[in-house]
Chains A and B, each alone.
Chain A
Amino acid sequence: MKILVIEDDQETALYLVNGLTEEGYVVDLRADGQEGLMQAMDETYEVLIVDRMLPGLDGLSLVRRLRTANVKTPVLFLSALAEIEQRVEGLEAGGDDYLSKPFALSELKARIEALRRRPPLHPIESRLCVGDLEMDLLSRKVRRGKIPIDLQPREFRLLEYLMRNAGRVVTRTMLLEQVWEFYFDPRTSVVETHISRLRTKINKGFTPQLIQTVRGVGYRMDQDA
């Protein structure tokens, strides 16, 4: 699993390289935009982590050129420019995810995993399954075993996101952004409350528990926990 980090701030770069190496990734580092672009074109990486403000060539232009050159490696922007508009700019330039500094390594890892194994979109695929839990995306019905489960629209979306990312950790922030489109940190326990209600609904009378809490990081949906 090879990752290219393009980041000019030494402290952050070191933190990233050390942290990701510990997690078992092979990490290459470039501190200059131009060099980073060359490296990303020359070698094959699974994920690129790009800072927005870089010497040589800024992150947005770098990714635009990469996409123009038809390099489709997933890109995660890492930036102190954290506002919604700047995030939109990042995604419009061809980025796949946007994480604002400061960030927790666990959050970054979860997002890298989500990017790296992003399943190819099957437009025909209309059913998601995790263990005996089944979700029909067309009729918007969910059942576990033979028992239908009644979900509210937001719960359905939450479950869908968890099932699409089955087997990997999703963080609280990822859920807030993807399920609720909240690009801020609410003061109340929105995610916890809804996960807990969802758990009650899908786990009632069944084993195993399908949604696990990963302490300090987030949640993971898995059939064999």
Chain B
Amino acid sequence: MRNLVRTASFRLTILTGGIFLVFLIVTFVIYYWIAVSYVYQRIDEEMDWKIQTLTQEYQSGFDPSDPDLLEPGTYVLLQDVNGRFIAKNLPMESDAQRWLSQLQPEPTPTNNASQTFRAKAVSLPDGSRMVVASDLNDIHVVNEFFGEVFVWILAAIVILSSGCGVLVSTIILRRVGEINLLARDIMNGRLDRRIPLRGTNDEFDRLSSNLNLMLDRIEKLMDQVRQVSIDMAHDLRTPLARLRQSLEGARRQATCMEDYEKAIDKALIQNEEILETFSALLRIAYVGSGVDRQRFENVSLTDMLETIGETYEPIAEERKQCLFSTIESGLMIHADRKLLTQMIVNLLENAICHTPAETQISMTASRTTGGVMMVIADTGSGVSEAERDKIFQPFYRLETSRTTPGSGLGLSLVSAIADLHDITINLSDNRPGLRVTLFFPTPSTRKL
């Protein structure tokens, strides 16, 4: 029960009840005021009428002892000039003059002390004075009625809103409880658990569905991290093992200074490879964690690609490949120049390193709707459709490229840099070969 009372839904229901109550009280007071004013008005009108009839009757000869003269609830006090009572059934004296006033009788054993009168006095032409009074029973009736109704309504609202609060909170608590229970399960390592949906498409279903999607993503990322750790361990163990072998070999077999030097040089190269893998991992992590976009600048993609083309043409030529570029002039993008250079160089070097001699490699860039389209295509052996997604995963290497040097991290870095710049990368068949299409959205169409 304490839990229930502490829920937001319970508090909200009570709050709604409270606000409703305040409105009700205000309405009630207004109604009460209108009713009472009406009753007073009626009493006053009645008294005026009585004064009028009594005055007429007094002037036309008046029998003060006539019991029919006064209706029940109406009281009269008539004094002549000398203050002698001509008629009196009002249980008190009155000094009321012309105005309306409230009279309270002296408490005596015979009268009802709580009786209150409303009186009006007039002076008659012969100098005598008449006071007409009416008791306020009607007002008491109204008061009692309103009082009673108010208590009932108050009770009803308190009971109803608490009831609603408990009901709503119970329902919500149950669903939240399910989610909480599940969250605890997941914390305990059962990452495959999902929140069941009711199919009602209410806010809970939508929340659950989003949480489920989040869990899917987390599970996928966890898998990736696990996979990367395993791959990293594997990929680093190999060069470390090699390093150890060559050092052991040198320890056992080296006979002269020259042997030692050779062994050390080899060890240094192997060490360099390991360090390179680490710096690639660090850079991917660094780019993935979101480089400050404030550092982005306007970069001439045309100049950048022309420079890269100029740099790599001789390198392709040395490998008996042919690199040609067709770059539209005046292409500008908003980017981190250094990271972007590395991304394009990585893609181009992939095309150069993973294709045989006689391969044609082309690099093109041109304006298109909503941005700039860049294509790096080769006529090599290509990448099968099944493997196209996987090659962006860290340490993933195609069987055909296992033997070529490289950390298997180049494309992961490409993917991270592309993400940072909202660049979409698409791999397709170049018939034959691989075609990498990059789309650079212009800043206005870039999603935020």
B291 touches A154 (CB 8 A): no
In the assembled complex, A84 has its CB within 8 A of some CB on chain B: yes
Which residues of A are found within 8 Å of B345, using beta-carbon distances?
182, 184, 186
What residue in chain A is nearest B295 (Cβ atoms)? A85
B311 touches A83 (CB 8 A): no
Which residues of B are found within 8 Å of A185, using beta-carbon distances?
276
What residue in chain A is nearest B283 (Cβ atoms)? A83
Binary contact readout B361-388 vs A (1 if CB under 8 angstroms, 0 otherwise): 0000000000000000000000000000
What residue in chain B is nearest A185 (Cβ atoms)? B276
In the assembled complex, B352 has its CB within 8 A of some CB on chain A: yes
A194 touches B295 (CB 8 A): no
Which residues of B are found within 8 Å of A181, using beta-carbon distances?
337-338, 341
Binary contact readout B340-353 vs A (1 if CB under 8 angstroms, 0 otherwise): 01100100010011
Query: Out of A82, A88, A154, which one reaches B310, CB within 8 Å?
Result: A154
Interface of B is mostly: helix
Query: What class of interface size applies to chain A in its complex with B?
Result: 20 to 34
> How many residue-residue contacts, CB under 8 A, span A and B?
56
Q: Which of A189-225 contact B (CB under 8 A)?
A: 189-190, 193-194, 197
In the assembled complex, A102 has its CB within 8 A of some CB on chain B: yes
Which residues of A are found within 8 Å of B279, using beta-carbon distances?
82, 100
Query: What class of interface size applies to chain B in its complex with A?
Result: 20 to 34
Which residues of B are found within 8 Å of A186, using beta-carbon distances?
345, 349
Which residues of A are found within 8 Å of B52, using beta-carbon distances?
none
A187 touches B291 (CB 8 A): no
A183 touches B342 (CB 8 A): yes
In the assembled complex, B314 has its CB within 8 A of some CB on chain A: yes
What residue in chain B is nearest A82 (Cβ atoms)? B279
Query: Out of A153, A182, A188, which one reaches B315, CB within 8 Å?
Result: A188
In the assembled complex, B109 has its CB within 8 A of some CB on chain A: no
In the assembled complex, B399 has its CB within 8 A of some CB on chain A: no
B349 touches A187 (CB 8 A): yes
In the assembled complex, A25 has its CB within 8 A of some CB on chain B: no
In the assembled complex, A152 has its CB within 8 A of some CB on chain B: yes
For the complex, give the distance between the alpha carbons of A210 and B338 in Å.
31
Which residues of B are found within 8 Å of A187, using beta-carbon distances?
349, 353, 405-406, 410
Q: A82-B279, A82-B282, A102-B275 are in contact. Are A184 and B342 (CB under 8 A)?
A: yes
In the assembled complex, B307 has its CB within 8 A of some CB on chain A: yes
A193 touches B318 (CB 8 A): yes
Which residues of B are found within 8 Å of A154, using beta-carbon distances?
307, 310-311
In the assembled complex, B202 has its CB within 8 A of some CB on chain A: no
Q: Which of B303-325 contact A (CB under 8 A)?
A: 307, 310-312, 314-315, 318
14 contacts between A and B (CB under 8 A): A84-B336, A84-B339, A102-B275, A180-B307, A182-B341, A182-B342, A184-B342, A186-B345, A187-B349, A187-B405, A188-B349, A188-B353, A189-B315, A193-B318
Binding site for A on B (CB under 8 A): 275-276, 279, 282-283, 286, 291-292, 295, 307, 310-312, 314-315, 318, 336-339, 341-342, 345, 349, 352-353, 405-406, 410
Closest 6 CB pairs of A and B: A84-B338, A83-B286, A187-B349, A188-B315, A184-B342, A183-B338
